[in-house]
Amino acid sequence: MKILTVSDINTGLELLGFSEKLSTLIPGVKAESLIIGECLENQAKDYILRGAEKVYIVKEANIQDPETTSITIITIYNQTKPDIIAIRSSKNAKDFAARAAQQLGIGIISDIARVEVKNGKLAFVRVILSGKVTAYQEAVTPVIILIPPGKFEPPKPTEKSGEIINIPVKAERRIKLIKIEEKKKAAVKLEEAELIVSVGRGYKSKEDLKLAFELADVLGAQIGCSRPIAADLKWLPEEHWVGLSGHKVKPKMYMATGISGQMQHIAGIMDAGIVIAINKDPNAPIFQYADYGVIGDVYKIVPLLAKRLSEILK
């Protein structure tokens, strides 16, 4: 089974991790990589050391343009005929992957949670229905698989050789780009956080969130929040929003303070290590999804916890 990874030069190594994972499940897996846009020779070589037998480089393409990227994928597909096209998921990736899939008449599976063998079949596992349901899906190959960032670790480099091939692709865009406005750079990258203290409607005002900030400070944790805090009340910018439509996080510890635990929030913490919930309502759904639950008022527990931890950690 041939895997073609598609990425720019900076983000493709984890897709080789997906290919490595596949090789533990089914026999005869080999990987090739398509790099969209400029890259240096030694960067491409790193892909070979980590498992790609061939690296195709399309220098004039731009991964930020879905129109030309889809044409590039189709061109390379027709030359190399992979069974699985693995793409790192993003908004633009969904756009260009869907275009390519439709043009090629093939299937696509968005945002897999994992891949495994189930009932003797290679199953791509998705979490659907706002995080409530796991669906094991079987794919007719060729197929495009969209892989969320950070799902797989890049394979360790070993002494390997392979080919690096530059391929020109002609593609025109019909959508005219007028301008790009940078968003304010997110100060936090929740996806990468080790520890997260998260806040919800249990806090009565924006000012009161400082109780959680102080606790996070003691722990060296990042601040997360539930949907209402970011989307409705706008007490915190969206970069802090944890949930299905916000960020999906995987910290070693996730501490939900004053969060009731709506499904759409839980969907964002499926991959968290230890989940701690602090809530005064013993019936809050968050306790069903927590490893350790504390029934108590965040206004009492959170500052006390911060004080005691600062004494212990000093």
Partner 1 sequence: MINTIVLVKLAIDVGQLRIDPSTGRPLIDEAPLKISDIDRMAIEEAVRIKEKHGGKITSISVLTWGPFNKRVSEAEMPLREALAMGVDEAILIADEKLLQADTKTTANAIVGTIKKLGGAGLIIAGEGTIDGFSGVVGSRVSTELNMPLITYARKIELKGNILTAERDLEDYIEVVETTTPAVVTVTREINTPRLPTLLQIRMAIKKPLKKISLSEIGVEADPKIKPFIIEGVKVKRKNVMVDGKTPEELVENLIKKLIDEGIVTPRK
Within residues 49-108, the interface with partner 1 by CB under 8 A covers 66-67, 70, 90-92, 94-95, 97-99, 101-103, 105-108
Burial class (CB in 10 A: 0-12, 13-18, 19+), 248: buried
Residue closest to 303 by CA, chosen among 201, 236, 210, 197: 210
Closer residue to partner 1 in complex, CB, 169/219: 219
Closer residue to partner 1 in complex, CB, 41/172: 172
Rule CB under 8 A: say whether 228 interacts with partner 1.
no
Rule CB under 8 A: say whether 213 interacts with partner 1.
no
Strands 222-225 and 253-257 come out as unpaired
The continuous run of DSSP H or E covering 211 comes out as helix 210-219
Cα–Cα distance, 35 to 100 (Å, whole number): 16
Rule CB under 8 A: say whether 10 interacts with partner 1.
no
Restricting to residues 11-50, name those near partner 1 by CB under 8 A.
Answer: none
Rule CB under 8 A: say whether 117 interacts with partner 1.
no
HEC profile of 36-85: ECCCCHHHHHHHHHCCEEEEEEECCCCCCCHHHHHHHHHHHHHHHCCCEE
Number of residues that bind partner 1 (CB under 8 A): 83
Options 81, 121, 189, 210; binder of partner 1; rule CB under 8 A: 121
Rule CB under 8 A: say whether 253 interacts with partner 1.
yes
Options 143, 197, 225, 259; binder of partner 1; rule CB under 8 A: 143
Rule CB under 8 A: say whether 1 interacts with partner 1.
no
Options 177, 187, 205, 207; binder of partner 1; rule CB under 8 A: 177
Q: Cβ 209 to partner 1, closest distance in Å? A: 19
Q: Which two tokens stand for residue 200?
A: 């919800």
278 in Cβ contact with 257 (< 8 Å): yes
